Amino acid sequence: MDLEQLLELFSSTKITEVINQTKASPRFVSDTFFKDKIPSLESTVRVEIIKGAGIVLNSISDNGEHSLENTKDAYILNIPLPRFALAKRISASEI
């Protein structure tokens, strides 16, 4: 491999393609149970608890924020997601 081919591997377009194609490593639990789930970009996520023979508590604490919707087939729980502070910005020149 000569220098020109080597530099082509590290061009900005190739590096951008690599970054865009980065995926999470395969895990048994996430691949088995969460394969059909869609990532959430909102501040809350809706969790469906399918009704069965068990009992679902309506709330954990009296003063806590909770919203439990009762539908025919499931309970839908709206959970606020934590947002983490940005540690450092990555500039395009660093990539």
pTM, to two decimals: 0.39
Torsion on CA atoms 27, 31, 36, 39, rounded to nearest 10: 10
Above 60 in pLDDT, residue 93? yes
pLDDT at 88: 74
| pLDDT band for position 91 (cuts 50, 70, 90) | confident
Instruction: List pLDDT tens digits, range 63-76.
Output: 556 667 778 888 78
Q: What is the pLDDT of residues 13-27, one digit of tens each?
A: 888 777 766 655 666
Domain layout of the chain by residue ranges? 3-80
CA distance 72 to 20: 41
Please indicate whether residue 52 or residue 22 has the higher confidence score (pLDDT): 52
